[in-house]
Amino acid sequence: MSERHIEMFWRCSSCNHRNLGRHMVCQRCKNAKDGSEQYEMPEDTASAVTVTDEALLRMATSGPNWRCAHCESDQRALDGGCKNCGASAVDGTSTADSVPPPPELPTGKSKPRRIGCYILLGLALFCCCPAMIAGQSGSSSTTKEAAAATTAAKGPEWTRALQVQDVAWEHTVSVERYRLVDEEGFEEDRPEDALQVKAQGKRHHHDDQVLDGYQTVSYTERVQKGFTTETYRDREACGEDCTTTPEKCKETCTSNKNGFATCKTTCTGGEKRCKTRYCSVTKTRKEPRYVDERRTRKEPRYRSVPRDATWYTWKAWRWTHERDVKAQGTTVQTHWPTAAELKPAKALYSGEKERDTREAKYTVRFHGDAAPAITYVPASLEEFQRYTPGSTHTLQQDEGKVSVVAPPAPAGAPAPDASTK
C-alpha cells in the first residue's frame, strides 16, 4: 500500500475565486479564508499532482487548521498566532470537524440527560418480559395438553357390555414319589449314591484310532519359476502450469482538514497460481511367474480298534412323577381334590415319600351380540368368582388384548384391579 499527498482547493465566498489549499488568503480579493469556505477535492484525484515540495509537505502533514475565535479566519496548525488579526493560537478552535457546533440552549434550561432514556427502556422491558414469559409457558402447556388429548382420543379398539355365558375351572395336583429306581451304565456314569451295584459283563465302550502304516499321496503345488516383464502406462509429474491473476489498484483520498489530502493506494491480485502437470509415460516391471508341479508325500494311515468296558446296573433314590389328580367344574364354586383322592392306591415302602405341586386354570366365556363368544382367563380365584353366569360386565380390547373394565369401587373401598389377557 502506497501513500502520497495532493493539494485541495477552496472557493472564496466574496469573489468566487478558486484558491489552492496552500493559501489562507484569497489571491484575488485578499480576504482571509473563513469557516464557510470548505476545502474541495480535485475533480480527478488520480491525475492530481503529488506534493513533493518540502514546505508544502510540512503544511500537509502538520495537522488540521484551527479557527481564530476573534476574526473567525482559518489558520494553520504550525502558525503560532492568527495572521489576520494577531490573536494567540491558544484562543483558537480546531477545524478538524467541519460540522458546525450545535446551537446553544435557551438560558435557564439544562441539556437533557441520557440517563432518562435508560430509565424508560428499563421500565418497558420490566413490563413486557413477564408477558413474554407467560406467553411461552402457556404455549408449552397448550402443546402438552393437545398431545394428551390426542392420546386419549385414540382410546381402545372396542368397548362392549357382555353377559357371562358359562364358566369352567380345573384344579390339578401333580404327585411325585421318592423311590428306588433302576439305572445302568458304565463306571463313569455311576453316581456316588448308587446302591446294589452289579457288573453285567463287557460292552462296547468306544473305538481307538491305531496307526496302521503310511501311504503315498500325490498333490499339486503352485511354485514360483522365474519372472515376466510387463509394460504399463503411468502418470507422473512433468512440470507446472502457472497463471497470474490481474492486479487491480484503487486510490482513496481523505482530507487532512488543512488544504491537503492524503491518498492511499491499495492493490489486489497479482498472485501466481500453479498446479502440477502430469504426463503419461510407459514403464516396465517384473512380475513373478508361477507353475503347477506334481509332488508326493507320506501320510499316516489309521484303523479303528473297538474297546470294551464293564457295564453296571444299580439302584438310586430319585423323585419321579407318580400321578395327576384333578378336580373340575362349571360353577364359580371350586374345590381341590380331597385327601382321600390324593391317597396312594398302595402303601409306601420303607424310605419312600410323596410331594405334590398344584395348578389352577379358570376360563370365562362372554356373549351378548352377534360377534363370536369371547373367552377370558381370570388371573386369580378371587377374580374368577366375580363372574357368575348371567352377570353383565364391560369388556374392551386395546392393542389385541381383552380386559374387563373394573366397576367403580364403593366409597371408602379400593377398586378391584382390571385383568388383562
Residue 322 has pLDDT above 60, yes or no: yes
Residue for cell digits 482559518? 74
| DSSP H stretches of helix in 48-114 | 54-60
Q: How many CB atoms lie within 10 A of CB 173?
A: 17
Tell which residue, 118, 63, 47, has the closest CA to residue 95: 63
What is the three-class DSSP state of 405?
Answer: coil
Residue 106 has pLDDT above 60, yes or no: no
Mean local confidence (pLDDT), 130-134:
46
Amino acid at 282: T
Lowest mean pLDDT among 81-95, 111-125, 369-383: 111-125
Predicted confidence band at 219 (pLDDT cuts at 50, 70, 90)? very high
Beta bridge partners of 317: 180
Mean pLDDT of the chain: 83
CA max distance for the chain: 154
Beta bridge partners of 179: 318
Degrees to nearest 5, angle at CA 65 with 61 and 68: 155
Residue for cell digits 489486489? 268
pLDDT at 94: 52
Instruction: Please tell me the distance from the alpha carbon of residue 74 to that of residue 64, in angstroms, as a whole number.
Output: 10
pLDDT in tens, 55-68: 999 999 988 988 88
Instruction: Please tell me the distance from the alpha carbon of residue 402 to that of residue 419, in angstroms, as a whole number.
Output: 9
Reading the block at residue 375, the C-alpha cell is 373367552
Distinct helix (H) and strand (E) counts, the chain: 4, 16
Predicted confidence band at 301 (pLDDT cuts at 50, 70, 90)? very high
Lowest mean pLDDT among 88-97, 117-126, 169-178: 117-126
pLDDT at 88: 79
Reading the block at residue 3, the C-alpha cell is 501513500
**Percent of the chain's residues with pLDDT above 70:** 80
Residue 253 has pLDDT above 90, yes or no: yes
Mean local confidence (pLDDT), 340-345:
92
Three-class SS of 238-252: EEEEEEECCCEEEEE
Q: Do residues 264 and 1 touch, judged by C-beta distance below 8 A?
A: yes
pLDDT at 310: 96
Degrees to nearest 5, angle at CA 113 with 109 and 114: 155
Tell which residue, 405, 382, 406, has the closest CA to residue 414: 406
Residue 373 has pLDDT above 80, yes or no: yes
pLDDT at 122: 57
Lowest mean pLDDT among 228-232, 359-363, 397-401: 397-401
Q: Do residues 200 and 313 touch, judged by C-beta distance below 8 A?
A: yes
Mean local confidence (pLDDT), 49-78:
88
Which of 78-92, 125-139, 364-378 has maximum average pLDDT? 364-378
pLDDT at 84: 81
Instruction: Please tell me the distance from the alpha carbon of residue 22 to that of residue 65, in angstroms, as a whole number.
Output: 11
Q: Could you tell me whether strands 353-367 and 158-186 are parallel, antiparallel, or unpaired per DSSP bridges?
A: antiparallel
Residue 92 has pLDDT above 80, yes or no: no
